[in-house]
């Protein structure tokens, strides 16, 4: 039953060569349905549209979506859950964020909507060589377990190992399980790869690596390619929507799932980076229309059809959360990606794990894990590089035994203590 349901969804969303016109028509058709539903059934959107003097009929094109107000997580936190959901909450599937940067927030979905999320993930996997009988090792957070019906019949086989366990323990587990696909946070798999190389292992035959949950940097990609497989698939998603975009086998950006979402992009303080606003086209239990994300992305300007055959638009890269900036003394903001790039420039002396903490405009700290402390000359080389980039600052270097993950099991290379 479950398998037939997911297969039907996959068949519906099997769109290798839809034209741009067809994609837009599908978006518009689904958009009209979700707007009408929200107006009729969701008090939050009823109030918004009445306040703006807008009726569902006024949303007659995808561009008309801009007539509606942008919604944020904080907007929804301020009101009762029943104001923005539909149905008996006790019968809906509830997923709660870990609240790493703010208080936890719950997302509600029906069984069918949850299967659409699963099908979206499987579509990304299938397009990149995954087979249902492949063995997946997932290194990441320990979520509350949900029933994986496919695994009961020997399909969609995966084992989950917490990112909080040591890389040595993960290697020992992998020796017994022998996966042929790896999946997880880039930082977790990077540590796994480094331990694998340190032990001079060669028992894994990995055909694909699926990464998500964090920004994937060039250094991590290269380490994984050199250790396991050239087929690195970067996936962009979030708790609210599931999988939003994925890399294809051309490895030239990430395709946006335009048959399931409508995407808008706003300017940020950094010219090439855009803030992303998403409208879900299948979420009826908890409609999210013009929902403002806290992520930044870099767009691909050309609108050409990808060599893989897809006409879905692409983003070049995901840069992380809005707010992940280093702030200079003149209040200029610098992308954290640029900060970590400086470490990669000195990869011969910088350890695998490090964390940059900005306490104030003048004071920062770099925590690092390394067998031997950095020498005076090495410290100077790194400090000089930073000061060329961010100006004269006080940097404290601290050799530590452990740099903990955050509550979700993710590893953060940068943390700002400055209140914006």
DSSP conformation letters of 46-115: HHHHHHTT--GGG--SSGGGGGSPPB-HHHHHTS-GGGS--S-GGGSEEEE---SSSS--EEEE-HHHHH
Task: Tell me if the pTM is above 0.85.
Answer: no
For residue 153, give both structure tokens.
């019949």
Q: Is 152 helix (H, G, I), strand (E, B) or coil?
A: helix
Predicted pLDDT at 277: 96
> In degrees, to the nearest 5, what angle opens at C-alpha 281 toward C-alphas 16 and 314?
45
d(CA 234, CA 377): 37
Instruction: Give the burial class of 283: count Cβ atoms within 10 A of its Cβ; 0-12 exposed, 13-18 middle, 19 or more buried.
Output: buried
Q: Say how far apart CA 93 and CA 386 lie, in whole Å.
A: 47
Q: Which of 161, 153, 115, 116 is nearest to 136 (CA)?
A: 161
CA proximity to 309, closest of 9, 10, 11, 14:
14
Give per-residue burial for 197-229: e unless 16+ CB within 10 Å, then b. eeeeeeebebbbbbbbbbbbbebbbebbeebbb
Angle CA 136–193–326, to nearest 5: 105
C-alpha Rg value of the chain to the nearest Å: 23
How many CB atoms neighbour CB 69 within 10 A? 15
What per-residue confidence (pLDDT) applies to 287? Answer: 98
**pLDDT value of residue 145:** 45
CA distances from 204 to 172, 182, 368 (A): 12, 10, 29
Angstrom CA distances, 66 to 27, 58, 69, 416, stand at 15, 11, 7, 33
pLDDT value, residue 14: 63
Dig out the tokens for 266 from the structure: 């706003």
Q: Give me the residue label for tokens 């549209």.
A: 49
Question: 79: which 2 tokens?
Answer: 């009101």
Cα distances (Å, whole numbers) of residue 240 to 285, 291, 297, 369: 12, 9, 17, 34
Using 50 as the pLDDT threshold, list the residues of the chain that sit under it: 99-102, 143-147, 323, 347
Strand, helix or coil for residue 7: helix
* CATH tag, 325-416: 3.30.300
């Amino acid at each position: 039953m479950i398998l037939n349901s997911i297969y039907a969804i996959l068949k519906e969303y099997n769109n290798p060569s839809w034209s741009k016109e067809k994609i837009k028509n599908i978006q518009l058709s689904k958009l009209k349905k979700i707007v009408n539903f929200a107006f009729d059934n969701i008090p939050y959107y009823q109030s918004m549209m009445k306040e703006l003097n807008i009726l569902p009929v006024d949303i007659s094109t995808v561009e008309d979506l801009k007539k509606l107000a942008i919604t944020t997580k904080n907007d929804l936190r301020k009101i009762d859950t029943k104001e923005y959901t539909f149905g008996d909450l006790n019968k809906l599937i509830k997923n709660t964020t870990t609240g790493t940067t703010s208080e936890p927030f719950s997302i509600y979905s029906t069984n069918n909507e949850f299967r659409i999320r699963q099908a979206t993930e499987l579509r990304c996997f299938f397009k990149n060589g995954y087979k249902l009988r492949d063995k997946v090792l997932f290194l990441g957070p320990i979520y509350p377990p949900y029933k994986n019906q496919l695994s009961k019949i020997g399909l969609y086989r995966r084992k989950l190992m917490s990112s909080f366990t040591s890389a040595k323990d993960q290697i020992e587990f992998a020796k017994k399980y022998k996966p042929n696909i790896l999946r997880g946070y880039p930082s977790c798999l990077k540590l796994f790869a480094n331990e694998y190389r340190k032990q001079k292992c060669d028992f894994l035959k990995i055909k694909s690596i699926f990464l998500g949950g964090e920004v994937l940097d060039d250094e991590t990609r290269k380490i994984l390619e050199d250790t396991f497989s050239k087929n690195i698939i970067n996936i962009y998603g979030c708790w609210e929507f599931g999988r939003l975009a994925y890399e294809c086998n051309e490895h030239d950006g990430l395709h946006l799932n335009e048959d399931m979402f409508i995407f808008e992009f706003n300017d940020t303080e950094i010219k090439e980076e855009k803030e992303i606003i998403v409208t879900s086209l299948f979420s009826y239990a908890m409609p999210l229309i013009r929902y403002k994300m806290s992520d930044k992305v870099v767009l691909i300007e050309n609108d050409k059809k990808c060599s893989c055959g897809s006409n879905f638009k692409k983003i070049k890269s995901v840069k992380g959360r809005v707010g992940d900036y280093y702030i200079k003394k003149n209040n200029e903001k610098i992308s954290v990606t640029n900060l970590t790039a400086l470490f990669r420039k000195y990869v011969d002396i910088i350890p695998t794990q490090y964390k940059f903490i900005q306490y104030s405009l003048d004071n920062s700290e770099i925590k690092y894990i390394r067998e031997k402390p950095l020498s005076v000359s090495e410290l100077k080389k790194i400090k000089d590089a930073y000061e060329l980039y961010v100006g004269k600052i006080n940097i404290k270097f601290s050799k530590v035994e452990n740099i903990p993950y955050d509550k979700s099991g993710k590893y953060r290379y940068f943390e700002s203590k400055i209140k914006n």
